[in-house]
Amino acid sequence: MSSALYAVMRKEFRQMTRDKRMMALLILAPTLQLFVLGFAANYDVDRIETATCDSDRTAASRALRQGLLADGTFIDVGPARDCRRPGDDIRDGRAKVVLVIPDGYARDLASGRTADVQVLVDGTNPVIGRYASSAASTYLNLVSARRQLPSLAAMSAAAGAEIRVPTISVAPRVLYNPAMRSAIFMVPGVSAMVLLIVTTIATAMGLAREREMGTLEQVMVTPISRSELLLGKVMPFVIVGLFDVLLALVVGTWVFHVPVRGSLAVLGLGTCLYLLSTVGVGLLISTVSRTQQQAIMGGFFVMMPAILLSGVMTPIENMPGWLQPVTWLNPVRFFVEILRGVLLKGAGVVDLWIPFVALAAFGPAVVALAVGRFRKRLA
Partner 1 sequence: MSDLITVSRLCRSFGSFQAVKDVSFKVGRGEIFGYLGANGAGKSTTIRMLCGLLQPTSGSAVVAGADVARDPEGVKRRIGYMSQKFSLYPDLTVFENLDFFGGAYGLSGRALRSRIDEVLDELGLRDRSRSLTSSLPGGARQRVALANALLHNPDVLFLDEPTAGVDPASRRDFIALVRRRVAQGTTAFLTTHYMDEAEYCDRVGLMVAGCLKVLDTPSALKANHVPGALFEVRTARRGDVTAALNAIQGLATIQRIGAGLRVRYDPSPGRDRVAESALAADPDAVVEAAEASLDDVFRAVVDQEAQ
- Binding residues for partner 1 (CB under 8 A): 3-4, 6-8, 10-11, 14-15, 18-19, 213-215, 217-224, 229, 376-379
- Burial letters 199-217, b for 16+ CB under 10 A, else e: bbbbbbbbbbbbbbeeebe
Q: Which residue, 7 or 119, is less far from partner 1 as judged by CB?
A: 7
Q: Which is nearer to partner 1, 23 or 255 (CB)?
A: 23
Shortest Å distance, C-beta 177 to partner 1: 46
Residue 153 CA, chain-centre distance (Å), reads 50
Q: Residue 292 Cβ, how far from partner 1 at the closest point, in Å?
A: 15
In this structure, what are the phi and psi dihedrals at residue 103, rounded to the nearest 5 degrees? -55, 135
Instruction: Give, in order, the Cα–Cα distances in Å from 155 to each of 49, 147, 151, 206.
Output: 40, 13, 6, 82
In angstroms, give the least distance from the CB of 22 to partner 1.
10
Nearest to 275 by CA among 223, 334, 352: 334
Nearer to partner 1, 144 or 222 (CB): 222
CB of 222 to partner 1, least distance (A): 4
- For residues 7 and 45, which CB has a smaller minimum distance to partner 1 in the complex? 7
- CB nearer partner 1, residue 77 or residue 220: 220
Is residue 251 within 8 Å of residue 34, measured between CB atoms?
yes
DSSP, collapsed to helix, strand or coil, labels residue 101 as strand
Q: How far is CA 175 from CA 135, 180, 346, in A?
A: 22, 9, 12
| Rounded Cα–Cα distance for residues 125 and 166 (Å) | 38
User: Could you tell me the smallest distance in angstroms from the CB atom of residue 364 to partner 1?
Assistant: 24
Nearer to partner 1, 113 or 375 (CB): 375
Q: Output the smallest distance, CB 288 to partner 1, in A.
A: 19
